[in-house]
Structure formats: structure tokens, C-alpha cells
Chain A
Amino acid sequence: MPEVEIRKFASVVEEVFHEGGPRATTPLRRAAVIAVIRNPFAGAYVEDIQPFMEDLKPLGLMMANRLVDLLGGDPSVVEGYGKGAIVGAAGELEHGALWHAPGGYAMREVLGDAMAIVPSTKKVGGPGTRLDVPITHINASYVRSHFDAMELGLNDAPRADEMALMLVMTTGPRVHNRAGGLAADKITGKDGLR
């Protein structure tokens, strides 16, 4: 089974105080962790790629724990999450799909009983490619105030034989959310949707 070879990690924390409207008493924080790893399947078609999902699990857990640390160490402050992958040019989109299970379940595990599916996106791209990683509420996907996204990328990755794997967590709604819909304090949090 291929080892996960990590070339670099990057992390970012954003604090949003306002966006032209009233200053938030508690700023919204959005954190992301990116791991740039070697794509063991780059350059050739490989039929059986699923074992690599197992290899990625420890990385997913480590990245999810790093995110919680970046947000101060208390998982209960996390209200939104998302994930994504950029596959370097010698790989295929399907390789990015290997991140779904290890990335998503790692965050749900670290956050306790997060109910909602982790929204995701992926693409093939070269160094400098940016990915708009979608974000939704961790317990109820329909919470409208928490629909958000974070643009992520690195100038030097992914190289052709690499993948950039991303996890994102946020601490609350958009800073001036006022588009209605299901509110976070109205969810039942049982089916992951409402």
C-alpha cells in the first residue's frame, strides 16, 4: 500500500470583522488546512485505487485536529465545514474522489456527532490553481446563514504528480447574513439536513 508522502502543509485562518455593515461582536473565523502529497497513481491508469483511502485516514484526522487547534482548540466552536482536492495534471479527477471518505469522516469524528454531509468540490489543475471549497452547517445542510466558501490554493502546488487536499472549518454564519431560510437555532439536527 502506498505511503502518504507529504511535501508541504499550509494553513490559513481568516477573521472577518465586517463587510461594509455593522461590525460583528464576535468575528467570523474561517480556517483551512492544505496538505500537498504525492499522487501515487500519477502518470498511469490504475484500476484499484480504493486502498489509498485507508492510507489517507490518519492524514485526515491530523488535518482535522490541526483545524480545531487553529480555531483555539475547542471543537464546539465549529459550525461549518467543507473539503476539496486539486489533482495535479498527471493524475485524474477520480484520484481527488479518494479524499471524500477520509477527509469527511475525519472532521465528523473530531467534531463529535456532526450530522450533515461535508460539502466538497474537486478539480484537476496546476500550480497556482484556486479551488472554491464549499462550506455548510455541520449538523443541518439547509441552514442558509452558513452557506459559504473559501478560496484556497498554493502558488507552487499541485505539481503534476501531486494532490492538494483541503479541509475547512468555520465558526459561524456569513458576517452579514440576512437572506432568510432555515436558521441555525431552528434545526432539529437529526437527519443532517434540517
Chain B
Amino acid sequence: MSANIRKLAVWVEETHTEMGKTITPATRKAVAVAVIANPFAGRYAEDLSDLIEIGAELGGLLGARCVAALGIEPGQAQSYGKAAMVGEGGELEHAAAILHPKLGAPLRAAVEKGAALVPSSKKMGGPGQVLDVPLGHKDAAYVRSHFDGIEVRLNDAPRAGEIMVAVAVTDSGRPLPRVGGLTHAEAEGKDGLR
């Protein structure tokens, strides 16, 4: 089953200064979100495999949209994250079915490599509610400068029978990282952690 997409939105933000300091090059984050029909809204379904397949489809689609919006080569992506918000006619488990079993592999293909766990969050919500997508380094989860998040919000979604699925990709870390820890340059990116 492929996703019935009502709308797609891609948001990009660039930070050029922070606390009076110029950021060169500007840090950039993209988040792509799909609003899809929830095939299981309003009823209990034991088998969620349709949503698992939709997750695979959206991981590739939304990852590619982010990379395109940033205008980078896939290998230039530095961090990523994913999240879903299920409209009131669904259940939290629907978000889990989309996000966890199959979304990761096509997302990793879209950003090249991706040794690290894709950080995620999920919630139930209604139109206009904010979804905070966590961000972490794509090859080494302990890279401290890349722990971040990005907010996504659509005034008209998710309706009761819908799910908002978001993927975020960056080509940079926080604007002024200075809390130490493993750095992007030091990361080996073999075990997904360091």
C-alpha cells in the first residue's frame, strides 16, 4: 500500500548570526513533512504492515526532499531525525509502525551512510500542534555539537484521520557549539556511536 499524501511541506532555515556573532557558513536545517491518510483511523488493526511499508516509502521521499532543499550532495548531510504525529482517530502505535521498522534504510540511502540510530519522537495531536523532531549526528551519535531539534507545524494537519510524518536533515551542527564532547571532525562513524 502506498501513502495517500494530502500535502507535502519542506522547511529550511539558515542561521547567519547568533548572539551577535556571525556564523560562517550559516548553519542549515531542513525538515520535510508529509500529511498522509491513516488507513487504520477509527478502528483497531492488529497488523500494521501497511503503515510499515508507508514508512519505507516516506523515508526515501522525505530524506531526498531535505537533501534537495539544502542543495547538497547526500554525503554532505551531517545530522538527521524523524518524528510522527498521529491525528486523534489513530493511535500512537501507528506512528511507531511508520517510523521504526523500515523508514531508516531508505533515509540512510538518501543521506549516504548513516551509521547512527535515527533519533525519533512521536505523539498524538491535532491541527496546528507542534512536532519537535530530534536531531543527532548521522554517523556518530555521540557528536555533541549536533544534538539539536527542529520544530514543524502545519495549521491544517493532522486531521483526525491523518498522520504527519517528518524527516529532518542538516548540513551542520548548532550555530555556536561550545559544550565540548566528540566533534564532527573526530568522529570515526563506524559503530554509529563515535
Contact = CB atoms under 8 A, between A and B. Distances in A.
Interface in A137-180: 151, 153-155
Chain A: number of interface residues, binned into ranges? 20 to 34
B24 interface: no
A13 B17 contact: no
B155 A151 contact: yes
B151 interface: yes
Contacts of A18: 6
Interface string B11-32: 1111111100000001000000
Interface in A12-54: 12-20, 27
Contacts of B72: none
B contact patch SS: strand
Contacts of A8: 13-17, 26
A9 B14 contact: yes
Contacts of B9: 12-15
A62 interface: no
Contacts, number: 53
Given A17-B5, A151-B155, A155-B151, A12 B10 contact: yes
A17 B16 contact: no
Contact of B16 (A9, A12, A13, A153): A9
B35 to A, nearest CB: 9
A50 B7 CA distance: 40
A43 to B, nearest CB: 16
A5 interface: yes
A57 to B, nearest CB: 19
Contacts of B6: 16-20
Contacts of A10: 11-14
Contacts of A6: 16-17
A5 B12 CA distance: 19
A57 B172 CA distance: 30
B105 interface: no
A5 B26 CA distance: 14
A11 interface: yes
Contacts of A20: 6
A170 to B, nearest CB: 13
B13 to A, nearest CB: 4
Given A151-B155, A155-B151, A17 B7 contact: yes
B8 interface: yes
Nearest to A155: B151
Contacts of B10: 12-13
Nearest to A6: B16
A98 to B, nearest CB: 21
A14 B12 contact: no
Contacts of A17: 5-8
A14 B14 contact: no
A65 to B, nearest CB: 15
B11 A12 contact: yes
A16 B7 contact: yes
Interface of B: 5-18, 26, 69, 130, 151, 153, 155
Interface of A: 5-20, 27, 130, 151, 153-155
Given A12-B11, A17-B7, A155-B130, 8 more contacts: A7-B16, A7-B17, A8-B16, A11-B12, A14-B8, A15-B8, A16-B7, A17-B5
